[in-house]
Amino acid sequence: MSTNYFGFAVADSMFPADCTIKKSAITPEQARELVRDCKMCLNPSHKATIDAARVRFGIEVEIPEKPAQISLVTGDSVLVMGIAGLPRLTDRHEYTAEEVAKATFKFSLYTVL
């Protein structure tokens, strides 16, 4: 049985030592549907980014108390929301509507074959 995860990045340590990975670009609408069946591998310190995904795309996820450590196996997937253009939050804890509107969001599905 395969497992699907949702996060903001992939790490080399997630994947088996020797595997083939398929990367597929998906639409925000597809991501919104897929995320319903995903386990979260989000960092709770990225709450502002998670809120931006909710506001911009209606993606509703629970924020875990701590990020999951995942080890993918054949058939598993990671849905990744990549974001460009959001500033680092150094003196505040949320993005403005204007910042979220200007940012570029890209969704990718990485699957271990």
What DSSP string runs through 14-36? GS-SS--EEEEEE-HHHHHHHGG
- Domain of residue 100: give its range: 8-112
Cβ atoms 27, 81 nearer than 8 A: no
Bridge partners (DSSP) listed for residue 96: none
Asked whether residue 23 is domain-assigned, the answer is: yes
Domain CATH code at residue 103: 3.40.50.11170
Which is higher by pLDDT, 78 or 94? 78
**Does the pLDDT of residue 92 top 70, yes or no?**
no
Task: For 5-18, write each residue's pLDDT tens digit.
Answer: 999 889 999 999 99
**How many domains does one find in the chain?**
1
pTM: 0.87
101's tokens: 């509107």
Find out whether 4 and 37 touch, Cβ atoms under 8 Å.
yes
In a domain, 68, yes or no: yes
Residue 31 falls inside a structural domain: yes
